[in-house]
Every structure is written in C-alpha cells, then in structure tokens.
C-alpha cells in the first residue's frame, strides 16, 4: 500500500502529461502517493486547510560538503555516516562527502571510506533498512589545485600525474573533481576523469579567462560536464577588462556553478547576478565543515585550527574556512534574496540532479525516487523521506 502526503506540492504544470521535456513547476494542492518511488499524483481544488499548511518539495542535493556535527569526511567511515545523518535532518537526501587537500595517503583513505559507506547504503536501500541520505560518491576537492589560491585548504597541492589519476580512478568513487586548469597536466587529468562520467569543476585557481576557455572547450568537446567550485570564492574577482574565472563562469551558459549562500561567503547581490546569468545552472551547496551545528568555539579543518564566532568559521589569519551552512538555511536565504519557492527548489534539488546526471531524482515526478521533504510555511523541515522511507520527523 503506497504512503500518501498531501499539501502544497511542487509539481510540473500539467503533471499528468508527458508533452513537455522541460516542464515548469509550481506549487499545487495535491496528494502524492509513493513507495520507493512516486506512484501517482492527484491534484485537487479542495479548499480545506489540510492542503495549505504543508509545503512538499524534492529532497535537497548537496554536492559539496566536508562535514557537520563534529565529523569530517577525512575522519573515516563512521564520520561519513555521522555527517550524512546530521545533514539529513536539514533536508539533504543526496550527499557527496567532500575531501580536502591533505597528504596523499589521507586522501586515499578518505575516499575509500566514502566508497565503503556508499556501497553499504546501496545495499540498505535495496532492503529498505537505510537510515542515511543517498551517497552516490565523493567530491574530490584538492589536491589538484593552485598552491597560490588555497583558500582554507592545507598546503598539500600536487600535480595530477598520470599515475596519481589512475590510482584515483581505480577507486571508482569520485563523481566530482575540483581542479585548477592552469596547473601542469590539468587538462589531461580532467579528460581522464570526464571519460568516467566525473564532473569537472574549476576552483581554487589563479587562471585567467584565456587559460580557462580552451580547457572548458576541450572538456565539452570530449563530452564532459564543467562546473565551477563555490563561485566567487578562491578564484579571484571579475573586472571589465579581466573577466577571469568568475567571468568565464557567468559567460558560459552550458557550464554549471555551485554557490555558498550563507551571506558571508557571497554578497546577496553577487548571488542574484549569478542566478540571473545562470538560472538553470546554479546550485546551492553548503561547503559545511565539522563545526557546522556545534556552536561557537575552536574547531578544525584539514588539520588547521579554525575559530567559530557569529556564524562564521575563520582561520587565524581571518580567512573564511568552509561554512556552517545547512541546505535548509541556504534554501531560506535564497527565498529571502527574492527567489520564489520554485526557483529556490530548482537551485537546491533540480539543478544539482541535472548537473550530476541523477535522472531518477530532483523533482517530484511519477517514477522518480521518493526523496521528499515536508516543510511548514516558515520553511522549517518537518519530515524527510529517502527512497520512500521516512528517516526524519
């Protein structure tokens, strides 16, 4: 017997028709019936308040998250499970645990931990014994970045030699790679990862527009997908005669970009500029670190001391160090910035699903995974479902 949720549900207009390959979405009073996937949708003109109190959206997809609740991807399998469990409570139903630039052995160990947890989660989902968000794989942020644009990354940046790249590909867990296109062997590495359906994200870079353009064009030519890691951060600024990395992203309608909307990393006006330039290719991320959810005090990021105060994480020199953001707050911040519920949901769910090639999720369409969040009118998370199973609320 399918489960049922009713309320204001984000549905494709004319949801019963398959006429449109690129439907628009709107909140509609409806009943949603689901098991592991969505079975049927019944819209209604019922004036009952029962349909007004709840907002039902596709689960959030976070493609860039280092940690949360005192756990970090670099700590091992138990920590990966803990951070995933923490972010689940904030509406994240698909998560990509993210590494940080560290000694090579530590990175390999962390990736293996993500793979172990991911494989266990797949087994548990099949048996409906799962308790975590979906974990399709890892985001490798570093070590193939510029030593001159580390941001809060530790100073272990290295060149992506063929041997190192093949070792990483052999793990079969990396789904998203952050890389600086100007470092030696970057293009060869990017093409190797792209050939395995890994997304290539430009970040932690000093590249000029002229560095980036041939890199992007070649990856696209080979069938790869390009993104930009935490747009505006760790990539320098944009000026009229020097577009640099930011300009390259905003000018490229084909590529994707992720953004940290905590109001500390990026000004709201910059966020709106990016949204207007890339309305269908911009994703909300958290870039959350282990201190997320822990309150003020001292914490750690990649072996470096970090200080938490007034909602910000900073290193001793004042550099912003990851974020304390969760996806529900990023969603709320998008609404406060002036986006509609439909637009904010696109940035938090639909676009990251499209970016990562997750055709089975990101919208509440019949046949899609029942990855669902239930919110009240203040956009607080009340319930979270992953593959049809209620895991929170």
Contact 327, 40 (CB under 8 A): no
Has residue 309 been placed in a domain? Answer: yes
pLDDT for the residue 323? 93
**pLDDT, average across residues 249-257:** 96
By 3-state DSSP, what share of the chain in percent is helix, strand and coil, each rounded to 5? 30, 25, 45
10 lies in some domain: no
392 within a domain of the structure (yes/no): no
Query: What is the average per-residue pLDDT within 154-172?
Result: 97
From CA 80, how far away is CA 153, in angstroms rounded?
19
Query: Encoding tokens for residue 227?
Result: 């993104």
Q: Note the pLDDT of residue 297.
A: 85
Q: What is the pLDDT of residue 214?
A: 97
Say if residue 369's pLDDT is above 70: yes
Q: Is the pLDDT of residue 157 over 70?
A: yes
Helix axis angle, 186-194 relative to 209-221, nearest 10°? 30
Token pair 């479902």 is found at 385
Number of domains the chain contains: 1
Mean pLDDT of the chain: 94
Distance of CA 337 to the CA centre of its chain: 19
Given a cut of 90, is residue 317 above it in pLDDT? no
pLDDT digits (tens, 9 = 90+) for 92-116: 999 999 999 999 999 999 999 999 9
Residues 121-150: what's their mean pLDDT?
A: 97
Residue 366 forms part of a structural domain: no
Here the tokens at position 97 are 């645990």
The DSSP symbol for 100 reads -
> Is the model's pLDDT at 28 over the cut of 90?
yes
Cα 322-325-330 angle, rounded to 5 deg: 125
Dist CA 126 CA 121 (whole Å): 9
Banded pLDDT at 296 (limits 50, 70, 90):
confident
Whose CA is closest to 144, among 114, 107, 112? 107
Q: Is the peptide bond before 78 cis (omega within 30 degrees of 0)?
A: no
Instruction: Show the domain range for 339.
Output: 59-358
What is the dihedral sign for C-alpha 114, 116, 121, 122? positive
332 inside domain? yes
Q: Is the pLDDT of residue 19 over 60?
A: no
Q: Establish if 13 belongs to a structural domain.
A: no
DSSP secondary structure, 210-246, as one string: HHHHHHHHHHHHTT--EEETTTTSSS----SS--HHH
pLDDT band at 21 (very low <50, low <70, confident <90, very high): low
Q: Is the pLDDT of residue 48 over 80?
A: no
Residue 166 belongs to a domain with what CATH number? 3.20.20.140
280 domain residue, yes or no: yes
On the question of pLDDT at 365 being above 80, the answer is: yes
Residue 143 has pLDDT above 90, yes or no: yes
For residue 18, the model assigns a pLDDT of 44
Average pLDDT value for residue range 146-163: 94
240 Cβ contact partners less than 8 Å away, ≥ 6 residues apart = none
pLDDT on residue 20? 47
* Band of residue 52 on the pLDDT scale cut at 50, 70, 90: confident
Q: Are strands 138-141 and 92-97 parallel, antiparallel or unpaired?
A: unpaired
Query: What percent of the chain clears pLDDT 90, i.e. is strictly above it?
Result: 85
Residue 14 scores a pLDDT above 80:
no
What local confidence, expressed as pLDDT, does residue 17 receive?
42
pLDDT at 295: 85
Predicted TM-score (pTM) of this structure: 0.96
Structural contact between residues 87 and 98, judged by C-beta atoms closer than 8 angstroms = no
* 308 close to 297: Cβ distance less than 8 angstroms: yes
Q: In Å, what is the CA distance from 361 to each residue of 61, 62, 226, 311, 355?
A: 9, 13, 20, 31, 12
Is residue 300 assigned to a domain?
A: yes
């Amino acid at each position: 017997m399918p489960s049922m949720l009713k309320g204001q549900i984000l549905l494709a207009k004319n949801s019963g028709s398959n006429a449109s390959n690129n439907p628009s979405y709107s909140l509609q009073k409806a009943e949603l019936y689901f098991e592991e996937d969505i079975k049927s949708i019944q819209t209604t003109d019922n004036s009952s308040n029962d349909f007004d109190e709840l907002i039902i959206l596709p689960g959030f997809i976070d493609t860039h998250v280092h940690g949360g609740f005192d756990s970090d991807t670099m700590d091992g399998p138990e920590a990966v499970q803990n951070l995933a469990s923490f972010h689940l409570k904030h509406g994240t139903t698909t998560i990509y645990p993210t590494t940080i630039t560290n000694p090579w052995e530590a990175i390999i160990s962390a990736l293996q931990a993500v793979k172990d947890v991911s494989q266990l989660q797949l087994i548990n989902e099949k048996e409906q014994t799962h308790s975590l968000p979906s974990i399709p794989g890892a985001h490798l942020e570093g070590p193939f970045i510029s030593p001159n644009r580390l941001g809060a990354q530790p100073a272990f940046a290295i060149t992506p030699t063929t041997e190192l790249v093949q070792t990483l590909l052999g793990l079969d867990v990396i789904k998203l790679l952050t890389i600086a296109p100007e470092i030696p062997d970057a293009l060869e590495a990017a093409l190797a990862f792209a050939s395995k359906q890994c997304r290539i994200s430009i970040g932690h870079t000093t590249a000029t527009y002229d560095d980036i353009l041939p890199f992007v064009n070649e990856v696209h030519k080979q069938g790869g997908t390009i993104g930009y890691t935490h747009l505006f951060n760790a990539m320098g600024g944009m000026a009229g005669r020097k577009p640099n990395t930011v300009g390259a992203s905003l000018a490229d309608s084909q590529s994707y970009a992720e953004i940290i909307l905590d109001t500390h990393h990026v000004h709201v006006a910059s966020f709106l500029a990016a949204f207007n330039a890339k309305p269908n290719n911009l994703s909300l991320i958290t870039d959350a670190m282990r201190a997320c959810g822990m309150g003020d005090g001292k914490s750690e990021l990649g072996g470096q001391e970090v200080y938490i105060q007034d909602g910000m994480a900073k290193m001793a020199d004042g550099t912003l160090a990851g974020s304390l953001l969760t996806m529900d707050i990023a969603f709320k911040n998008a609404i406060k910035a002036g986006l509609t519920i439909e637009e904010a949901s696109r940035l938090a769910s639909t676009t990251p699903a499209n970016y990562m090639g997750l055709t089975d999720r990101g919208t509440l369409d019949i046949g899609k995974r029942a990855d669902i969040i239930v919110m009240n009118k203040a956009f607080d998370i009340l319930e979270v479902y992953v593959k049809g199973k209620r895991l929170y609320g």
